[in-house]
Amino acid sequence: MQFYSYVTETPDAPGMTDEPVGSGGRSIDRDLRTVRGVVRRLEKAWPGKSFKVFSFTNIYDARTHRLVHTHWA
Protein backbone atom coordinates (compact mmCIF):
# COMPACT_ATOMS: atom_id res chain seq x y z
CA MET A 1 0.00 0.00 0.00
CA GLN A 2 1.17 3.55 -0.67
CA PHE A 3 0.42 6.50 1.60
CA TYR A 4 0.39 10.27 1.11
CA SER A 5 0.15 12.56 4.14
CA TYR A 6 0.43 16.22 5.03
CA VAL A 7 0.37 18.52 8.04
CA THR A 8 -2.88 20.45 8.46
CA GLU A 9 -4.07 23.31 10.66
CA THR A 10 -7.73 22.34 10.11
CA PRO A 11 -8.05 18.54 10.45
CA ASP A 12 -11.85 18.73 10.31
CA ALA A 13 -11.86 20.16 6.75
CA PRO A 14 -13.28 17.68 4.22
CA GLY A 15 -11.01 15.71 1.91
CA MET A 16 -7.93 17.47 0.59
CA THR A 17 -9.30 21.03 0.75
CA ASP A 18 -6.71 22.03 3.37
CA GLU A 19 -3.68 20.61 1.53
CA PRO A 20 -0.65 22.91 1.87
CA VAL A 21 0.96 24.71 -1.05
CA GLY A 22 4.66 23.93 -1.50
CA SER A 23 6.65 20.88 -0.51
CA GLY A 24 7.00 21.35 3.26
CA GLY A 25 4.90 19.23 5.58
CA ARG A 26 4.22 16.44 3.09
CA SER A 27 5.23 12.79 3.01
CA ILE A 28 4.90 9.88 0.59
CA ASP A 29 5.48 6.50 2.22
CA ARG A 30 5.77 3.50 -0.06
CA ASP A 31 7.76 1.22 2.26
CA LEU A 32 5.19 0.88 5.06
CA ARG A 33 2.32 -1.60 4.92
CA THR A 34 -0.12 -0.32 7.55
CA VAL A 35 -1.77 2.95 8.51
CA ARG A 36 -0.54 2.39 12.05
CA GLY A 37 3.07 2.28 10.84
CA VAL A 38 2.63 5.52 8.90
CA VAL A 39 1.01 7.25 11.90
CA ARG A 40 3.89 6.19 14.17
CA ARG A 41 6.45 7.50 11.69
CA LEU A 42 4.67 10.82 11.26
CA GLU A 43 4.18 11.32 15.00
CA LYS A 44 7.97 11.24 15.26
CA ALA A 45 8.52 13.41 12.19
CA TRP A 46 5.86 16.01 13.04
CA PRO A 47 5.48 16.00 16.85
CA GLY A 48 2.53 18.02 18.14
CA LYS A 49 1.04 18.57 14.67
CA SER A 50 -2.25 17.45 13.14
CA PHE A 51 -2.03 15.55 9.86
CA LYS A 52 -4.09 13.54 7.37
CA VAL A 53 -3.10 10.22 5.81
CA PHE A 54 -4.42 9.04 2.44
CA SER A 55 -3.88 5.74 0.63
CA PHE A 56 -3.46 5.91 -3.14
CA THR A 57 -2.75 3.84 -6.20
CA ASN A 58 -1.71 6.66 -8.56
CA ILE A 59 -0.17 9.73 -6.89
CA TYR A 60 -1.06 11.96 -9.85
CA ASP A 61 -4.75 10.97 -9.93
CA ALA A 62 -6.65 12.51 -6.98
CA ARG A 63 -9.57 10.14 -7.65
CA THR A 64 -7.46 7.25 -6.32
CA HIS A 65 -6.72 8.99 -2.99
CA ARG A 66 -8.77 7.74 -0.02
CA LEU A 67 -8.63 9.32 3.43
CA VAL A 68 -7.65 6.59 5.90
CA HIS A 69 -6.66 8.54 9.03
CA THR A 70 -6.90 12.01 10.56
CA HIS A 71 -4.51 12.67 13.44
CA TRP A 72 -5.47 15.41 15.90
CA ALA A 73 -2.69 17.06 17.89
pLDDT digits (tens, 9 = 90+) for 18-39: 877 777 889 999 999 999 999 9
- Could you write out the DSSP letters of every residue in 9-66? S-TTS-TTTTPPSSSTTEEEE-S--SHHHHHHHHHHHSTT--EEEEEES-TT-GGG-E
* pLDDT score, position 42: 96
User: 47-63, pLDDT tens digit by residue?
Assistant: 999 999 999 999 999 89
Assess contact for 44 and 5: CB atoms under 8 A: no
* pLDDT score, position 35: 96
Assess contact for 28 and 3: CB atoms under 8 A: yes
CA distance 6 to 45: 11
